[in-house]
């Protein structure tokens, strides 16, 4: 149990003892104190109870504080309790208890992060990244990839069984024009020695060229439409070209995942096409439930709770009049597959905010049609757009979409310059490696640290600065600690002392550390990575304060103090490493 939960139980017990059954269901509302002069934590339950019981909160707070004071005995986390203001209860924790809990955290491989036991373990599908074939990944896909990867890692760390799903956009009528274009350029264009068509080396250019021909050339558009039919009927030559397009795109995506350090493999690719032979079935199932209506020749459903501006029920098309299926049909089929065949308890969709309505409708329909039972948790994890510094959609100087690969290159180049400036003594190979970690880490952190639902401003200077809530700042704190151990030639594992907790900076640091398991749990619940970023940032800030005030290796530091401080440093380093790992950010030993 984490220390805050311990305090909460103590407060609940004290309220019960002081006020009787009336206090039974009161939420203890324990939060870290804003100012160390008011103790370490504050319980805010007296106000709510006062209202409920019609009594003065201050009196209730007083009674709870007295009860907490009585209960104090050795090993208890609470050393003293005092009523304050309108009825807050300020709590000061016992130093030995803090020290002991910090030592226990340090002795634990998971740093106290609670994992679900077998009975509560859930299977969670995380649908993320999901780029589109024959289009290069852009910064918008970056967000889904980075946020989704972090969420998958956090859920795994809390003991859930995570199934990653890359819902690749690999099907649809646009493939008619892409394949037709490929067929025609393959005839006229040379191939590489490996037989690869040179034409699709640059996916964006390839896509645009196909699109331009489709729009401008009526005959080509006709041939493209015939291709769609050929594709749908599984024509062999057409399928071969489709495979070629998908394979070529996956190569690009794999390279991006590799460089981003994102754990998405080919096994986790289950694109839209994977549901093709389940679509008719899905529509039949909707029909069997009496959900299907006809509208202008198309099959539609009316998910409950959705009306348009005129107050008319809003339809969701599941089958077009020409027999074709849609994006929504595929998502309904995927829900059935994920819940019933992957046996998921919870489905998480990390997709940009423009698709919020799509998922709301799909979820509502899945419930109504009985595809998803009441206990299935369906969650849409939306995120805002990537904006440039001018607060307009992030574009290249010439106004084009920014390619992910270019963003990564630029981040690493910029980081390389910063790293060389900070530490000119690094060898070229090490500087390259550090720059890769810092540059990629900076992009990811900038994305994860902002409240995901808001648009986020892509700002090179801000994400790479060593000051403030950035990856370089956190990595620097980690590096600083590692250099202490290196300088002292000390193996952290050899330090058996309990972490230091006497100086105010040490105490602040320990309190911050002990909150870590709770922060991880809250991210697993809310799916908001910025909570973890904020916590790590505050941890690093607390460490910098400690570092300024509390010497570790200086000659005049007593051996016991030195060891206790080393133990504290080690715990901070490991927590930063663990936390950055959950964010998908690699640490370095020097920078």
**Which residues would be at the binding site for ligand ARG (CB under 6 A)?**
127, 130-132, 167, 169, 331, 334, 349, 351
**Listed residue (289, 285, 346, 310) closest to 124, CA to CA:** 346
Least CB distance to ligand ARG at residue 400 (A): 18
Residue 26 near residue 505 (C-beta atoms within 8 A): no
Q: Are strands 78-84 and 88-93 parallel, antiparallel or unpaired?
A: antiparallel
Least CB distance to ligand ARG at residue 186 (A): 26
- Output 191 or 377, the one with its CB closest to ligand ARG: 377
What is the C-alpha separation between 578 and 154, in angstroms, rounded? 10
Residue 207 near residue 200 (C-beta atoms within 8 A): no
Sheet-wide strand order for 161-165? 161-165, 123-127, 346-350, 377-381
- Output 250 or 576, the one with its CB closest to ligand ARG: 250
Least CB distance to ligand ARG at residue 248 (A): 17
Least CB distance to ligand ARG at residue 165 (A): 8
Least CB distance to ligand ARG at residue 524 (A): 21
What is the C-alpha separation between 142 and 525, in angstroms, rounded? 23
The structure tokens listed for 259 are 């460089």
Determine the 3-state secondary structure of 386 from DSSP: strand
Least CB distance to ligand ARG at residue 128 (A): 8
Determine the 3-state secondary structure of 488 from DSSP: coil
Least CB distance to ligand ARG at residue 425 (A): 45
* Helix segments in 302-342, DSSP class H: 327-336
Three-class SS of 512-577? HHHCHHHHHHHHHHHCCCHHHHHHHHHHHHHHHHHHHHCCCCCCCCCHHHHHHHHHHHHHHHHHHH
Q: Which helix (H) or strand (E) holds 42?
A: strand 41-43
Least CB distance to ligand ARG at residue 204 (A): 14
- Output 435 or 527, the one with its CB closest to ligand ARG: 527
- Output 349 or 456, the one with its CB closest to ligand ARG: 349
- Output 87 or 271, the one with its CB closest to ligand ARG: 271
- CA angle centred on 265, ends 263 and 271, rounded to 5°: 120
- Output 41 or 380, the one with its CB closest to ligand ARG: 380
Torsion angle defined by CA atoms of residues 387, 391, 397 and 402, in that order, rounded to the nearest 10 degrees: 10
- Output 79 or 334, the one with its CB closest to ligand ARG: 334
First to last CA, the chain: 36
The structure tokens listed for 550 are 């509390």
Least CB distance to ligand ARG at residue 465 (A): 32
- Output 169 or 579, the one with its CB closest to ligand ARG: 169
Least CB distance to ligand ARG at residue 131 (A): 6
**Listed residue (253, 238, 281) closest to 169, CA to CA:** 253
- Output 165 or 587, the one with its CB closest to ligand ARG: 165
| Sequence-separated (6 or more) residues with CB below 8 Å from residue 35 | none
What is the C-alpha separation between 436 and 212, in angstroms, rounded? 37
What is the C-alpha separation between 270 and 168, in angstroms, rounded? 7
- Output 61 or 131, the one with its CB closest to ligand ARG: 131
- Output 50 or 172, the one with its CB closest to ligand ARG: 172
- Output 168 or 500, the one with its CB closest to ligand ARG: 168
Least CB distance to ligand ARG at residue 281 (A): 18
- Output 169 or 303, the one with its CB closest to ligand ARG: 169
- Output 331 or 365, the one with its CB closest to ligand ARG: 331
Residue 234: phi and psi, rounded to 5, are 80, 25
- Output 60 or 333, the one with its CB closest to ligand ARG: 333
Residue 48: phi and psi, rounded to 5, are -60, -45
Least CB distance to ligand ARG at residue 330 (A): 7
What is the C-alpha separation between 147 and 151, in angstroms, rounded? 6
Least CB distance to ligand ARG at residue 173 (A): 15
Least CB distance to ligand ARG at residue 399 (A): 21
Q: What is the largest CA-CA distance in the chain?
A: 89
What is the C-alpha separation between 537 and 231, in angstroms, rounded? 52
What is the C-alpha separation between 361 and 383, in angstroms, rounded? 18
Least CB distance to ligand ARG at residue 79 (A): 51
The upper half-sphere exposure of residue 303, i.e. CA atoms within 13 Å in the direction of its Cβ, equals 20
What is the C-alpha separation between 512 and 164, in angstroms, rounded? 32
What is the C-alpha separation between 499 and 567, in angstroms, rounded? 5
């Amino acid at each position: 149990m984490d220390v805050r939960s311990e305090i909460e139980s103590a407060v609940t017990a004290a309220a019960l003892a002081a006020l009787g059954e009336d206090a039974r269901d009161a939420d203890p509302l324990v939060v870290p104190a804003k100012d160390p002069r008011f103790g370490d934590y504050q319980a805010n339950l007296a106000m709510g109870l006062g209202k409920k019981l019609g009594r003065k909160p201050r009196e209730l707070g007083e009674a709870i504080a007295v009860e907490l004071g009585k209960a104090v005995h050795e090993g208890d986390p609470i050393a003293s309790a005092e009523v304050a203001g309108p009825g807050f209860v300020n709590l000061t924790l016992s130093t030995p208890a803090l020290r002991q809990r910090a030592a226990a955290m340090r002795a634990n491989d998971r740093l106290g992060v609670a994992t679900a036991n077998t009975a509560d373990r859930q299977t969670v599908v995380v649908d993320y990244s999901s780029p589109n074939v024959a289009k290069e990944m852009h910064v918008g896909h970056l967000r889904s990839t980075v946020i989704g990867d972090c969420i998958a890692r956090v859920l795994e760390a809390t003991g859930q069984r995570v199934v990653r799903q890359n819902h690749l956009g690999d099907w649809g009528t646009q493939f008619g024009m892409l394949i037709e274009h490929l067929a025609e350029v393959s005839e006229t264009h040379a191939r590489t020695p490996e037989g690869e068509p040179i034409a699709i080396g640059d996916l964006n250019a390839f896509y645009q060229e196909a699109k331009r021909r489709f729009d401008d050339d009526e005959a080509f558009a006709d041939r493209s439409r015939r291709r769609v039919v050929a594709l749908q009927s599984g024509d062999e030559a057409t399928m071969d070209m489709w495979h070629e397009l998908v394979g070529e795109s996956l190569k690009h995506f794999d390279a991006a995942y590799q460089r981003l350090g994102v754990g998405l493999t080919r096994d986790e690719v289950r694109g839209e096409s994977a549901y093709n032979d389940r679509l008719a079935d899905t529509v039949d199932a909707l029909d069997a439930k009496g959900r299907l209506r006809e509208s202008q020749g198309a099959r539609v459903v009316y998910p409950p709770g959705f009306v348009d501006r005129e107050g008319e029920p809003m339809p969701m098309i599941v089958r077009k009049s020409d027999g074709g299926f849609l994006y929504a049909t595929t998502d309904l089929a995927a829900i059935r597959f994920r819940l019933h065949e992957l046996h998921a308890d919870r489905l998480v969709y990390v997709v940009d905010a423009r698709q919020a309505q799509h998922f709301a409708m799909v979820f509502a329909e899945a419930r109504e049609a009985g595809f998803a039972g009441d206990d299935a948790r369906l969650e849409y994890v939306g995120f805002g757009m990537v904006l440039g510094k001018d607060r307009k959609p992030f574009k290249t100087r010439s106004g084009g979409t920014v390619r992910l690969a270019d963003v990564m290159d630029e981040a690493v180049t910029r980081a390389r310059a910063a790293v060389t400036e900070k530490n000119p003594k690094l060898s070229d190979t090490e500087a390259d490696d550090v720059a890769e970690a810092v540059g990629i880490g900076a992009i990811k952190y900038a994305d994860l640290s902002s409240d995901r639902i808001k648009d986020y401003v892509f700002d090179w200077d801000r994400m790479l600065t060593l000051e403030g809530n950035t990856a370089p700042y956190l990595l620097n704190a980690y590096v600083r600690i590692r250099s202490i151990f290196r300088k002292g030639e000390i193996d952290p594992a050899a330090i058996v002392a309990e972490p230091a907790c006497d100086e105010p900076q040490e105490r602040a640091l320990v309190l911050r550390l002990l909150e870590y398991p709770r922060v991880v749990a809250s991210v697993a619940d809310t799916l908001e990575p910025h909570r973890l970023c904020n916590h790590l940032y505050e941890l690093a800030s607390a460490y910098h304060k400690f570092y300024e005030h509390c010497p570790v290796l200086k000659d005049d530091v007593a051996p016991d103090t030195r060891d206790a401080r080393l133990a504290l440093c080690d715990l901070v380093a490991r927590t930063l490493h663990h936390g950055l790992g959950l964010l998908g950010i690699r640490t370095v030993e020097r920078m």
